């Protein structure tokens, strides 16, 4: 965002920079200036700047001039000190040269000095090389240890959407299915074992931004860019499992989305995938894009987060708005509920996330946390007393609900972080990044692994979201991205690391 007054500031700086430099007639000039000289210099600067057409207030211009004068004096002092040191070095060299001539009768001082300097330089060089080699060895060994902390294997790809996939989720009861929310205005349910599409929900008129499953019933909650959130029931039958195919074994297994789309010819997706177009309940109180929605513990209420800067709490049975959670200064980006308590956390582009407490029906408290310097893209609960927040400032922070003044761990990355997820059993954080990578960390901020990414496996565009399924023996982590696919991974963490 442009800074007001930047043009005037540039003019002021230019006026100061055009002052002529004084020529020094002697190297013995004192380092410290007298107060009168400083006042004269400041006065000359102000007189020169007064001739410029500046829009800066007089007080601001005066402060800038004082600062520039101090900077110039510091440079002058350094310059004078440099001259004095050079003179001392020359004097010492002359004395050493004279001593050499007196002792040896020949001019051997320079040779002795060169030999001594060469010896000292070689010692310093050797010391630097040893230190650098040791540091490099430590860095390389830490990298090797990090990459071997977890075994990550791509198991299956779930392909069928015609646009990027924003969110991915796993149902909590049998039959366990994978859910995806896509910018192609649809949500889809998938067989985890076969990768086959079981159902497509087409009831939204805009991008489907999130999907979450009911804790005890076969219902899904989706949020959309059409300013609504939908609750819809589903009934699916899992197909017979098929052998796992290594999608990276040959180039023939790679999917060309354009060819597949033309072959299908059906705007609603594959012809053998059933569709659902009517929601059981539509929640319509927002005035902007509904970016995320989640079930409160028990499944009787839901919370939605919107670009209208508010989060709404609804009653599922009556579809009525129970409470509007306001206070964020900019658009909301995510919302999440605690798996065992009536707690809600909302994140926003205003660089904050808020904790809403509904455990006491008579009191609805809220706490604001300012731990990031850019958009907070997501904040999620653990099963215990922690909140983990991710941001566009390329950091992920772990917080203790009992003392959230400062994070207990900070993870720094090289790319913006999108919707994170946490393994309930293993307490491992999965971070999807803008740069297509998905990284795994423990709750202490120690990096465990980076999921494989190459031309034949992994995401080819931005990774948007992740979801864990701890009880699944084949795929226990899922990721999705804007390459229009979801991926199932098998993550194997050694038991020793889990105990730590």
44 inside domain: no
Q: Where are the beta strands (DSSP E) in 192-349?
A: 197-201, 208-213, 219-224, 229-233, 275-276, 281-283, 290-295, 301-306, 310-315, 321-326, 332-337, 343-348
What are the beta bridge partners of residue 233?
219
Q: Which residue has the higher pLDDT, 405 or 345?
A: 345
Number of domains comprising the chain: 1
CA distances from 338 to 140, 306, 343, 449, 493 (A): 39, 19, 5, 27, 25
Q: Choose from 103-117, 171-185, 244-258 the range with maximum mean pLDDT.
A: 171-185
When pLDDT is averaged across residues 295-299 and rounded to a whole number, the result is 96
- pLDDT for 493: 81
Q: How confident is the model at residue 162 (pLDDT cuts 50, 70, 90)?
A: very high
Contact 420, 432 (CB under 8 A): yes
Query: Reading across the β-sheet that carries 229-233, which strands appear in turn?
Result: 208-213, 219-224, 229-233, 281-283
Higher pLDDT, 380 or 249: 380
Model-level pTM?
0.67
Q: Which residue has the higher pLDDT, 53 or 223?
A: 223
**Is the pLDDT reported for residue 296 higher than 50?**
yes
Question: Is the pLDDT assigned to residue 135 strictly greater than 70?
Answer: no
Question: What's the pLDDT at 150?
Answer: 81
Instruction: Give 370-386 pLDDT, tens digit per residue.
Output: 999 999 999 999 988 89
Residue 40: pLDDT band (50, 70, 90) is low
Structure tokens belonging to residue 305: 């987060």
Q: What is the pLDDT of residue 122?
A: 57
Distance CA 38, CA 228 (A): 67
pLDDT, position 248? 43
Residue 44 pLDDT greater than 80, yes or no: no
Q: What is the mean pLDDT of residues 162-171?
A: 97
Residue 28 maps to a domain? no
293 close to 223: Cβ distance less than 8 angstroms: yes
Q: What average pLDDT does this structure show over 98-104?
A: 53
Domain-embedded: residue 263: yes
Would you say residue 25 has pLDDT above 50?
Answer: no
pLDDT band at 195 (very low <50, low <70, confident <90, very high): very high
Is pLDDT larger for residue 350 or for residue 3?
350
pLDDT at 242: 56
Lowest-pLDDT choice from 47-51, 317-321, 348-352: 47-51
Does some domain include residue 239?
yes
Q: Which residues contact 153 (CB under 8 A, 6 or more apart)?
A: 452, 489, 490, 492
Longest dimension (CA), the chain: 108
- The verdict on residue 98 lying in a domain is no
Among the residue ranges 16-20, 81-85, 96-100, the one predicted with the least confidence is 16-20
**Is position 61 within any domain?**
no
Predicted pLDDT of residue 403: 84
Lowest-confidence pick of 177-186, 199-208, 445-454: 445-454
Q: Is 94 exposed, middle or buried (0-12, 13-18, 19+ CB in 10 A)?
A: exposed
Residue 341 banded pLDDT, cuts 50, 70, 90 = very high
Per-residue pLDDT, 32: 41
What average pLDDT does this structure show over 23-52? Answer: 46
- Is the pLDDT at 256 greater than 80? The verdict is no
26 pLDDT exceeds 70?
Answer: no
Give the domain CATH number at 223.
Answer: 2.130.10.10
Q: Report the C-alpha gap between 372 and 297 in whole angstroms.
A: 28
| CA-only gyration radius of the chain, Å | 33
In a domain? residue 377: yes
Specify the range with the lowest mean pLDDT, choosing from 11-25, 239-253, 299-313. Answer: 11-25
Token look-up 């990355």 returns: 413
65 confidence band (pLDDT: 50, 70, 90): confident
Domain span holding position 432? 152-499
Q: Which residue has the higher pLDDT, 32 or 152?
A: 152
Mean pLDDT, rounded, for 220-232: 98
Q: Round the average pLDDT of the chain to a whole number and report it.
A: 80
More confident residue, 141 or 230: 230
pLDDT at 6 over 60: no
* Least confident window among 112-116, 198-202, 203-207: 112-116
In-domain check, residue 276: yes
Q: What whole-number percentage of the chain has pLDDT above 90?
A: 53
Q: Which two tokens stand for residue 82?
A: 């440099």
The answer, yes or no, to whether residue 246 has pLDDT greater than 60, is no
Mean pLDDT of 273-293: 96
Question: pLDDT confidence of 130, banded at 50, 70, 90?
Answer: low
């Amino acid at each position: 965002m442009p800074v007001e007054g930047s043009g005037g500031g540039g003019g002021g700086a230019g006026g100061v920079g055009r002052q002529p430099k004084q020529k020094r007639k002697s190297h013995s000039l004192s380092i410290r200036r007298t107060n009168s000289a400083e006042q004269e210099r400041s006065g000359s600067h102000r007189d020169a700047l007064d001739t410029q057409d500046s829009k800066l207030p007089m007080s601001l211009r005066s402060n800038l001039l004082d600062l520039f004068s101090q900077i110039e004096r510091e440079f002058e002092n350094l310059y004078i000190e440099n001259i004095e040191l050079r003179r001392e070095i020359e004097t010492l060299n002359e004395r050493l040269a004279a001593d050499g001539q007196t002792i040896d009768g020949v001019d051997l001082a320079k040779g002795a000095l060169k030999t001594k300097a060469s010896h000292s330089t070689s010692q310093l060089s050797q010391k630097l090389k040893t230190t650098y080699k040791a540091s490099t060895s430590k860095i390389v060994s830490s990298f090797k240890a990090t990459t071997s902390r977890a075994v990550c294997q791509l198991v299956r790809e779930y392909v069928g959407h015609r646009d990027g996939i924003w969110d991915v989720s796993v149902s909590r009861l049998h039959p366990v299915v994978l859910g995806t929310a896509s910018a192609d205005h649809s949500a889809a349910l998938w067989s985890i074992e076969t990768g086959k599409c079981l159902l497509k929900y087409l009831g939204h008129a805009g991008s489907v931004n999130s999907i979450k499953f009911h804790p005890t019933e076969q219902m899904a909650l989706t949020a959309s860019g059409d300013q609504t959130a939908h609750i819809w029931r589903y009934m699916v039958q899992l197909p017979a499992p098929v052998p796992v195919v290594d999608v990276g074994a040959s180039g023939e297994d790679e999917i060309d989305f354009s060819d597949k789309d033309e072959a299908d010819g059906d705007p609603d997706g594959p012809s053998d995938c059933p569709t659902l177009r009517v929601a059981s309940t539509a929640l319509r109180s927002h005035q902007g894009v509904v970016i995320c929605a989640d079930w409160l513990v028990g499944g009787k209420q839901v919370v939605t987060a919107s670009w209208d800067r508010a989060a709404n709490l609804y009653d599922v049975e009556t579809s009525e708005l129970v409470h509007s959670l306001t206070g964020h200064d900019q658009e909301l980006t995510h919302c999440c509920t605690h798996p065992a308590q009536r707690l809600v956390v909302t994140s926003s582009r205003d660089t904050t996330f808020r904790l809403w407490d509904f455990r006491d029906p008579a009191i609805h408290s809220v706490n604001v946390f300012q731990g990031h310097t850019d958009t907070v893209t997501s904040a999620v609960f653990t099963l215990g007393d922690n909140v983990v927040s991710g941001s566009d400032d390329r950091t992920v922070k772990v917080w203790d609900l009992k003392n959230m003044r400062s994070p207990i761990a900070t993870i720094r990355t090289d790319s913006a972080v999108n919707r994170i997820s946490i393994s309930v059993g293993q307490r491992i954080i999965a971070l999807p990044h803008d740069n297509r990578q998905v990284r795994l960390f423990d709750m202490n901020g120690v990096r465990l692994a980076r999921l494989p990414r190459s031309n034949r496996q992994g995401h080819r565009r931005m990774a948007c979201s992740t979801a864990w399924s701890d009880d699944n023996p084949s795929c226990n982590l899922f990721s999705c991205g804007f390459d229009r696919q979801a991926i199932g991974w098998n993550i194997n963490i050694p038991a020793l690391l889990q105990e730590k």
